[in-house]
Amino acid sequence: MTLLQKILLALVVLAAVLPMVGVPQYWLYTLTIGLYYAMLASSWSLLVGYIGRISFAQAAMSGLGAYVAVLTGQLLGWPVVPSLIAGVVAAGLFGLMIGWLTLRLHGAYLGLTTIAFAEILRITVTAEHQVTQGSRGLQVRPLIEGAGPVTYYYIFLAAAVVSVLLMLALLHSRIGLFFQAIREDEDGTASLGVNVTLWKSLAFAASTAFAGFAGGLYAHFVQLITPSMMSMQEMGYILAMAVIGGFSNVVYAAFGGVILQVLLEALREMGEWRLAVFGVIAILMLRFAPNGIFGWLETRLKRKDK
Amino acid sequence: MQAQLDISNLSKNFGGLQALKGIDLSFQKGELVGLIGPNGSGKTTLLNIIGGYYDASGGAVTLEGRKIDGLSPSTLARLGIGRSFQMTKVFKRLTVLENMLVGALADWGLTRKAAEDKARGVLDKLKLTRLADSPASSLSGGQAKLLEFGRVMMLDPKIVLLDEPFGGVHPELKRFMYEKITEWNDAGATIILISHDMGSIFGLCRRVVTLSYGDIIADGDPETVRNDPAVLEAYLGDHHAA
Ligand SMILES: Nc1ncnc2c1ncn2[C@@H]1O[C@H](COP(=O)(O)OP(=O)(O)OP(=O)(O)O)[C@@H](O)[C@H]1O
Ligand SMILES: [Mg+2]
């Protein structure tokens, strides 16, 4: 294990004991939201960092997972777990569709197309107010009746850890190798018999399924969802989190999510300026430390070993 | 006997440019064919169509009696067409070993351990063992060519398309590539070799096809082609009717 891996593992252990050492509820709440963003930032980096496809639909996919989970509960009377699964499946299928429809698009064209998909979805949810209550927001039953902040915190911690571990398992399998080969050179990968079309579509689906899961959990935690969770501003936060943590690694991106959410809360007085500040930081990171804080640390620590 | 790979009236246009002008060619199983021609004569374009990277503008390609027009490169690779690229397409941020594994692992029947053992064996022959765990971005041009050749070796293809595989490769390793090409061929594989390295072409191939401006201007045994005035003209002439 490298030094950085040890540090990150220690942080996870620290996170697990936080509620026991008397951290105020307010900060537990903040960290719980941070863990939601950790899942989103890491699921985004699963796509962008490994297979090299860009998407600005991650917040929208979280929203899709959330609305499907909530509505299957309200309209069809499904229990929480099946409705969460429905959200995951819906987001995964939508991602598969985006992935398949954008197979031949790259760079700016791909990015713009995913923005279009995200906005169509957000506008649809806003407009269908008989079903979704539009921008007034939809009341959501709690994940567990009567559960307190500590319970939610642990559920989100477990969900984030398990999500990231599942992503790592996928990425360390041969499928992860195919993803990275496709990122490096599509024709070269195809020449070796790897079904590039299939894996490009499935990478989208995997990434959005995790986002849908995060969204469903989030809905049942905050218990009121609005279409703003699908906005480009939310997407901006996710992007900044992944970039600042380091989107070439799902673990780094996850930590970026938690750290930035904590900073967002700590800098509350700055209001809307925070997004601008994080945007600038993200741009500077891309220029000077493209692998993010943790990617930068990784190379620094490696160099010291030698 | 039915040809293994049959190309009939194949044409390819890029805008107004006719890169291939309706060519007919067939290859029997187990042939070792050199494909030569001046820069821009259409050699790579032909390989790209056989491999499924480009759609033909007209004509047909048939593999063992089956039309393969419209099949994807990955499908064709799984049907046994392996290729290397003139401009190498190594996966720069993957290690040399990982580069080797991609093709082997595309076969789900093969375990990672088996694939790795096979890859290490090939890397050893290519004198790349020392670099197995380095990123492919650290390879020299010649080493990248060798790595690509190694990736093709991992596939055990029945048709091997090689586009300038020797560029920058050390003579000793070039000899290894010759041996491997001959060995593939002896085992029944069909080889189409593009090279500007005439020593390699005439040393290895029993048939040489010459392209010029998208047309086949010569096709025959090396001795005949070497002395064909049209071939000499194509290579040496500084003018050519458009
Ligand atoms: N993707 C493309 N788009 C436009 N024109 C192309 C494309 N690929 C090839 N061409 C053109 O087609 C013609 C044949 O090119 P090709 O690459 O097949 O030649 P070649 O025989 O492989 O040459 P070389 O020996 O230089 O590799 C050239 O005029 C080239 O400019
Ligand atoms: Mg060429």
Give pLDDT tens digits for A169-211. Answer: 999 999 999 999 999 999 999 999 999 999 999 999 999 999 9
User: The tokens of B101 are what?
Assistant: 């594994």
Q: Whose CA is nearest to atom 19 of ligand 1?
A: B40
In angstroms, rounded to a whole number, what is the distance separating the alpha carbons of residues A290 and A284?
A: 9
Q: Whose CA is nearest to atom 6 of ligand 1?
A: B14
User: The tokens of B160 are what?
Assistant: 């091997």
The preferred substitution site among B41, B45, B209, B212 for testing ligand 1, maximizing ligand atoms within 8 Å of CB, is B45
Helices A3-17 and A292-305 sit at what angle, rounded to 10 degrees? Answer: 130
* pTM for the predicted model, two decimal places: 0.93
Name all residues whose Cβ lies below 6 A of ligand 1.
B 14, 17, 19, 37, 39-45, 86
Residues linked to residue B62 through DSSP beta bridges, in sequence order = B6, B67
In angstroms, rounded to a whole number, what is the distance separating the alpha carbons of residues A181 and B98?
A: 9
Report the run of H or E that residue B207 belongs to, with start and end: strand B207-212
Asked if A58 contacts A43 with a C-beta cutoff of 8 angstroms, the reply is yes
Asked if B105 contacts B68 with a C-beta cutoff of 8 angstroms, the reply is no
Q: Please, what is the average pLDDT of chain B?
A: 93
> What distance in angstroms lies between residue B90's CA and the mean position of ligand 1's atoms?
21
Nearest ligand to the C-alpha of residue B234?
1
Find the distance separating the first CA and the last CA of chain B, reported in whole Å: 37
In angstroms, rounded to a whole number, what is the distance separating the alpha carbons of residues A66 and A170?
A: 24
Give the tens place of pLDDT for each residue, B83-118. Answer: 999 999 999 999 999 999 999 999 999 999 999 999
Q: Which of residues 206-235 of B touch A (CB under 8 A)?
A: none
Does B175 contact chain A (CB < 8 Å)?
Answer: no
Give the tens place of pLDDT for each residue, A62-92. Answer: 999 999 999 999 999 999 999 999 999 999 9
> What distance in angstroms lies between residue B219's CA and the mean position of ligand 2's atoms?
18
Pure H helices in B126-241: 141-155, 171-186, 198-204, 222-226, 229-236
Please report residues of B whose CB lies closer than 8 A to that of A194.
74, 102-103, 106
Asked if A70 contacts A223 with a C-beta cutoff of 8 angstroms, the reply is no
* Sign of the C-alpha dihedral computed for residues B26, B31, B37 and B41 taken in this order: positive
Asked if the ipTM is above 0.85, the reply is yes
DSSP secondary structure of B62-116: EETTEE-TT--HHHHHHTTEEE--SS----TTSBHHHHHHHHHHTSTTS-HHHHH
CA distance B89 to chain A (A): 5
Percent of chain B past pLDDT 90, that is, above it, reads 86
- Look at residue B241 in the predicted model and tell me its pLDDT: 43
User: The tokens of B189 are what?
Assistant: 């594989």
Helices B171-186 and B141-155 sit at what angle, rounded to 10 degrees? Answer: 20
Asked if B50 contacts B61 with a C-beta cutoff of 8 angstroms, the reply is yes
Residue A136 has, within 13 A of its CA and on its CB side, a CA count of 7
Q: Whose CA is nearest to atom 28 of ligand 1?
A: B40
Q: Whose CA is nearest to atom 12 of ligand 1?
A: B19
The partner residue sitting opposite A196, judged by closest CB among B74, B94, B112, is B74
Q: Which of residues 92-111 of B touch A (CB under 8 A)?
A: 92-94, 98-99, 101-103, 105-107
User: Would you place residue B79 in the very low, low, confident or very high pLDDT band (cuts 50, 70, 90)?
Assistant: very high
Percent of chain A past pLDDT 90, that is, above it, reads 84
Phi and psi torsions of B52, nearest 5°: 90, 10
Q: Which residue is associated with the tokens 């593009």?
A: B194
| B215-220, strands of its sheet edge to edge | B81-83, B159-163, B190-194, B32-36, B207-212, B215-220
pLDDT above 60 (res A306)? no
Does A177 contact chain B (CB < 8 Å)?
Answer: yes
* Sign of the C-alpha dihedral computed for residues A50, A51, A55 and A59 taken in this order: negative
Residues linked to residue B219 through DSSP beta bridges, in sequence order = B209
Three-state SS letters, A17-43 = HHHHHCCCHHHHHHHHHHHHHHHHHHH
With an 8 Å Cβ cutoff, are A184 and B94 in contact? yes
A98 φψ region: left (φ > 0), alpha (ψ -120 to 50), beta (else): alpha
- Look at residue B237 in the predicted model and tell me its pLDDT: 66
What is the CA angle A53-A216-A83, rounded to 5?
115
State which residues have CB under 5 angstroms from ligand 2, the bound ion. B 44, 86
Please report residues of A whose CB lies closer than 8 A to that of B72.
190, 195-197
User: Would you place residue A302 in the very low, low, confident or very high pLDDT band (cuts 50, 70, 90)?
Assistant: confident
Question: For residue A103, what are the CA distances in angstroms to A1, A44, A99, B21?
Answer: 37, 17, 6, 31
Other C-beta atoms lying within 10 Å of the C-beta of residue B151: 27
Which domains can be identified in chain A, with CATH numbers? 3-305 (1.10.3470)
Helix (H/G/I), strand (E/B), else coil: B211 = strand
In the structure, how many helices (H) and strands (E) does chain B have?
9, 10
Higher local confidence (pLDDT), B130 or A2: B130
- Look at residue A71 in the predicted model and tell me its pLDDT: 96
pLDDT above 70 (res B238)? no
- Look at residue A256 in the predicted model and tell me its pLDDT: 96
Pure H helices in A102-148: 107-127, 129-132
The partner residue sitting opposite B77, judged by closest CB among A183, A184, A192, is A192
DSSP secondary structure of A86-111: HHHHHHHHHHHHHHHHTTT--HHHHH
Q: Which residue is associated with the tokens 């820069």?
A: B39
Question: For residue A116, what are the CA distances in angstroms to A6, A111, A233, A277, B29?
Answer: 41, 9, 15, 26, 51
What average pLDDT score do residues A291-297 get?
Answer: 93
Please report residues of A whose CB lies closer than 8 A to that of B106.
178, 192-195
Question: Going by C-beta distance under 8 Å and a sequence separation of 6 or more, which residues neighbour residue A94?
Answer: A61, A64, A117, A121, A208
In angstroms, rounded to a whole number, what is the distance separating the alpha carbons of residues B64 and B240?
A: 36
> What distance in angstroms lies between residue B54's CA and the mean position of ligand 2's atoms?
14
The partner residue sitting opposite A197, judged by closest CB among B72, B90, B105, is B72
Residue A14 CA from chain centroid, whole number: 22
Q: Whose CA is nearest to atom 18 of ligand 1?
A: B42
Does B85 contact chain A (CB < 8 Å)?
Answer: yes
Q: Which of residues 178-237 of A touch B (CB under 8 A)?
A: 178, 180-181, 183-185, 187-197
Question: Going by C-beta distance under 8 Å and a sequence separation of 6 or more, which residues neighbour residue B24?
Answer: B7, B8, B9, B10, B216
Does B38 contact chain A (CB < 8 Å)?
Answer: no
User: The tokens of B137 are what?
Assistant: 């971005």
